[in-house]
Amino acid sequence: MKKWVLISGGNGVLGNSYAHALEEDGFSVLSLDCSPPSKLESSGRVWFECDITSEGDIARLTQYLETLGGQVYGLINNASCQPPGFGNEFEEYSLETFRRVLDVNLAGSFLLTKMVIPFMKRAQSGSIVNIGSIQGVVAPTFEIYQGMNITSPLVYAVAKAGIIHFSKWIAAKYGPLGIRCNAVSPGGVGDSQKGGSKFAEVYASRTPLRRMAKSTEIAEVVRFLISAKADYLTGQNIIADGGWTIY
């Protein structure tokens, strides 16, 4: 029987890395994304065009899942967004941008999790992995952004802190039904960051391992948490940051 894992933002760099790892482990992947994949990543992967903040799209997705066959086993809440104004200074931040970032990160994760829970309850098993960030654990080191074309806005930190506690609540509520929920909080990921080589150098110089993460390394943590090897892990936030947060 197929075991399906849904990945929001599944056609991006990190989403693709998670999908590759899970396909190697025999899972079937359903990629949820507003944008099409840049290429056909695998013959078995399915893309469902979906705005995860739209209740109408979530209803369509629910109906689609009923036709797939197999078990809805996993969900990776990975989607995030950087709408216009995302990198603005705090004093110039618009409420529209603030709400949109929260909507995708938190409301989207809420809607998807609410949707998969009945499938998982039916099977008495399931694994949900929420993608947080070290920015949801510790305050930003603002010095590394000086002179760069990127920053770490308040709304991103708030959203990621929220998704970490979201994971604990779901774990406590649904653990008795065999459903696990954990978070992964990456540090800077080199092949998905938009700051350029100079930012990568500055970031690496302040990290004990002296480099940024690779998306494939974060995927290994996600792979573990989805798998049966992590069957006694729930409600945890795994920080994969090369040691950044030990200082």
Please give the single-letter amino acid code of residue 23: E
Q: Is the pLDDT of residue 43 over 80?
A: no
Instruction: Give CA–CA dist 5/22, Å, rounded.
Output: 8
User: How far is Cα 27 from Cα 247, in angstroms, rounded to an integer?
Assistant: 37
Residues 178-200 have a mean pLDDT of 93
Which residues, 6+ apart, have CB-to-CB distance to 62 below 8 Å? 115
**99 contact partners, CB below 8 Å, separation of at least 6:** none
Mean pLDDT over the full length of the chain: 95
Half-sphere exposure of 204 (CA within 13 A, CB side): 15
The pLDDT tens digits for 125-178 are: 999 999 999 999 999 999 999 999 899 999 999 999 999 999 999 999 999 999
* CA-angle at 223, arms to 57 and 194, nearest 5°: 70
What CATH number does the domain located at 3-82+100-140+152-189+215-246 have?
3.40.50.720
- DSSP letters along 154-183, please? HHHHHHHHHHHHHHHHHHHHHGGGTEEEEE
What is the tens place of the pLDDT at every residue in 191-208?
A: 988 878 999 999 999 999
What pLDDT is recorded for position 41?
A: 56
Alpha-carbon distance of 72 to 69, in angstroms, equals 9
Percent of the chain with pLDDT over 70: 98
Would you give the distance in Å from CA 240 to the centre of its chain?
Answer: 13
- CB under 8 Å to 136, separation ≥6 — which residues? 157, 158, 159, 160, 161, 162, 163, 164, 185
At residue 37 the predicted structure's pLDDT band, cuts being 50, 70 and 90, is confident
Q: Residue 58: how many CB atoms within 10 A of its CB?
A: 18
- For the segment 55-98, what is each residue's pLDDT rounded down to a tens digit? 999 999 999 999 999 999 999 999 999 999 999 999 999 999 99
For residue range 121-134, list pLDDT tens digits in order. 999 999 999 999 99
Nearest to 80 by CA among 5, 165, 152: 152
If one compares 40 and 134, the residue with the highest pLDDT of the two is 134
Phi and psi at residue 72, to the nearest 5°: -80, 100
Q: How many CA atoms lie within 13 A of 37 on its CB side?
A: 21
* Nearest alpha carbon to residue 106 among 69, 79, 143: 79
**In a 10 Å sphere around its CB, with 0-12 CB exposed, 13-18 middle and 19+ buried, how is residue 231 labelled?**
exposed
